[in-house]
Chains A and B, each alone.
Chain A
Amino acid sequence: AQSVTQPDIHITVSEGASLELRCNYSYGATPYLFWYVQSPGQGLQLLLKYFSGDTLVQGIKGFEAEFKRSQSSFNLRKPSVHWSDAAEYFCAVANTGGFKTIFGAGTRLFVKA
């Protein structure tokens, strides 16, 4: 069965600093991988996704993520964080059928001035 682990419950970074949010998954085959963001009072929005091909994926809002099969990881990165990035971030994995998506518990990002 597929599963997702986000080791960090919350992270605090200074505005302008770089960010890396960790995600590890468990799945027997090549998964579909996603990062979603949930801002306060707003619904979930897709940041980026990986299906195949280039292991470095670019997303919206300046985010990127790298798929590392050997480490079963799909970490999210951003070179310079803005205060508006404060939100909850969810990593998710879908099976090769593509429909059953399992979400991690989320990492809440706090941005300090």
Chain B
Amino acid sequence: GAGVSQSPSNKVTEKGKDVELRCDPISGHTALYWYRQRLGQGLEFLIYFQGNSAPDKSGLPSDRFSAERTGESVSTLTIQRTQQEDSAVYLCASSLVPRGDEQYFGPGTRLTVT
């Protein structure tokens, strides 16, 4: 079956522009996660969705970051007024249920802010 997909795979944007990153989870997966991975570093938790509700937004770095999810489907991570420090790979993952279940990761979106 289809895995987690993300688009675009690569995005180059100018400082100050807004970007939208998209994640399509595995069908039927109720939980969806966003992470950020800076070059040479581990994964940084950003936000988690249970259905279309986000019980934990504590990882969002600033109010320039926001995310939404439509039902138990597509999620969009939006970064407004991008800064160079936003350059990273943004990974999305989904799991069948949220309680410690295996997370299936997408290939990521590599964001470069120039």
Contact = CB atoms under 8 A, between A and B. Distances in A.
Contact of B42 (A32, A42, A90): A90
Interface in A21-80: 32, 34, 42-46, 49, 51
B102 A43 contact: no
A97 B33 CA distance: 14
Interface residues of B, number: 27
A109 interface: no
Contact of B98 (A34, A51, A92, A98): A98
A47 to B, nearest CB: 10
Interface in A93-108: 94, 97-106
Given A43-B107, A43-B108, A98 B101 contact: yes
Interface stretch (B48-56, B62-70, B79-87): B48-56
A88 to B, nearest CB: 9
Interface in B26-44: 31, 33, 35, 41-44
Interface in B77-114: 91, 93, 98-103, 105-108
Contacts of B45: 100-103
B43 A99 contact: no
Contacts, number: 59
Given A49-B100, A99-B98, A106 B105 contact: no
A99 B51 CA distance: 13
Query: Across chains A and B, which 5 residue pairs bring their CB atoms closest together, nearest first?
Result: A98-B99, A98-B100, A32-B100, A103-B43, A105-B42
Interface of A: 6, 32, 34, 42-46, 49, 51, 90, 92, 94, 97-106
Interface of B: 3-4, 31, 33, 35, 41-45, 48, 50, 55-56, 58, 91, 93, 98-103, 105-108
26 contacts: A43-B105, A43-B107, A43-B108, A44-B43, A44-B91, A44-B93, A46-B103, A49-B100, A49-B102, A51-B100, A90-B42, A90-B43, A92-B43, A94-B100, A98-B98, A98-B100, A99-B31, A99-B33, A99-B50, A99-B100, A100-B45, A100-B48, A101-B33, A103-B35, A104-B42, A105-B41
